Amino acid sequence: MRMTGQRRAILDALQDGHRPLSPSEVLEAASEAIAGINLSTIYRNLKSLVERGDVIVVPTPGDSSRYELAGLAHHHHFLCEQCGRLFDMHGCPGSFAGIAPKGFKVRSHELTLMGTCSSCTP
Amino acid sequence: MRMTGQRRAILDALQDGHRPLSPSEVLEAASEAIAGINLSTIYRNLKSLVERGDVIVVPTPGDSSRYELAGLAHHHHFLCEQCGRLFDMHGCPGSFAGIAPKGFKVRSHELTLMGTCSSCTP
DNA sequence: TTAATTGCAAATGGTTTGCATTGTT
DNA sequence: AACAATGCAAACCATTTGCAATTAA
């Protein structure tokens, strides 16, 4: 994988966003650096960046997946139902392995809080 | 809303499944009672059953939403990465409101454990 | 008979892919 | 030259919708 300007711009967008971004949010942010950048390219580059381990997928309940830079400490997210943005939160309340049914093997977990972010609260 | 045979079959499918079902799982189950039942009808009826409050949507991270009968105690789910089925778990480890950023209003939360269910564990 | 429900096919929206072109080494 | 990366259009898949035909109250 070559580190092209487009991939650089995508990583920059994720870095500057300070929160997980959807593909269309990445497109919007990267478009400011590279006019005419294509959504297919965003998807393809996000995929290869994930395979390479530079970026992780954030599966989001009831909405499309977001992407964020890899290497952050384990944490969870807040989904604003008003503006649709996903935010990072710090820490994790536990492993939750105890509530899994007997015989089920827990590999990971997703915790998402939903509500209204501070910008959208009147 | 009229209680047709199709709607009856859909509710029966959700009841008998003992776990949240995807639209295509509902189709498969309802087809045994009503041959030729259409997927559009499944979607339309699920929607009206949700509006009526008989059924709730279970938004599932990284996968399409599932549906389950309303009225169950607050609980969370386990997604088997092998067979794709979603299972109910009992109880909830907490409110999690404490980890939300300042100024954010929490309305609800989704907790999903991922891994391998007992049927898929070797 | 009146209004809700259904099947079918077409539309939609997000994501992926084929292919010819462009860019990098 | 050899191969990776891109743009574009078409394919895809889950979900929704328009409409004419059917069914329930």
Q: What is the pLDDT of residues B9-41, one digit of tens each?
A: 999 999 999 999 999 999 999 999 999 999 999
pLDDT given for residue B121 in this prediction: 87
**Do A12 and A39 fall within a single domain?**
yes
- A13 lies in some domain: yes
Residues B63 and B100 in one domain: no
Q: By the CB < 8 Å criterion, does A81 face chain B? A: yes
pLDDT at A1 over 80: yes
Domain residues for A29?
5-69
Spatial separation of the C-alpha atoms in residues A66 and A55, rounded to whole Å: 10
Cα distance between residue B5 and residue B7, in whole Å: 5
Q: Are residues A59 and A100 part of one domain?
A: no
On whether the CB atoms of residues A118 and B101 are closer than 8 A, the answer is yes
Do residues A105 and B116 lie in contact, with contact meaning Cβ atoms separated by under 8 Å?
yes
How far apart are the two ends of chain A, measured CA to CA in Å? 46
Same domain? A65 vs A95: no
Q: Which residue, among B22, B67, B110, would best test binding to A if mutated, counting the most A CBs under 10 Å from its CB?
A: B110
Spatial distance from the CA of A2 to the C1' of D5 (Å):
8
- A115 contacts in B (CB within 8 Å)? 100, 104-108
Q: Do A60 and A27 fall into the same domain?
A: yes
Domain count, chain B: 2
Element (H, E) at A27: helix A23-33
Angstroms from B56 CA to nearest CA on chain A: 13
Beta-ladder partners of B65: none
Looking at chain B, the whole-number percentage of residues with pLDDT higher than 70 is: 100
C1’ D16 / CA B64, Å = 15
Report yes or no on A120 lying in a domain. no
Q: Report which of B9, B15, B8 is spatially closest to residue B68, judged by C-alpha positions.
A: B15
Looking at the predicted structure, is the pLDDT value of residue A95 above 90? no
Same domain for A24 and A56, yes or no, is: yes
Whole-number mean pLDDT of chain A? 96
For residues A64 and A83, membership in a common domain is answered with no
Residues 6+ apart with CB under 8 A from B14: B21, B26, B55, B67, B68, B69
CATH number, domain of B48, equals 1.10.10.10
Report helix, strand or coil for A108. strand
Q: What is the pTM of this model?
A: 0.94
A28 falls within a domain: yes
Q: What is the DSSP letter of B73?
A: P
Strands B55-58 and A105-116: unpaired
Looking at the structure, do residues A64 and A12 belong to the same domain, yes or no? yes
Same domain, A18 and A63: yes
Render pLDDT for B62-120 as a digit per residue (tens, 0 to 9). Answer: 999 999 999 999 999 999 999 999 999 999 988 898 999 999 999 999 999 999 999 99
Interface residue A101 vs chain B (CB under 8 A) = yes
Quick one: pLDDT band at residue A97, thresholds 50, 70, 90? confident
Residue B120 belongs to some domain of the structure: no
Collect contacts of A49-52 with beta carbons under 8 A, ≥24 apart.
A49/A7, A49/A10, A49/A11, A52/A1
For nucleotide C25, give the residue with the nearest CA to its C1'.
A2
Is residue B41 helix, strand or coil?
helix
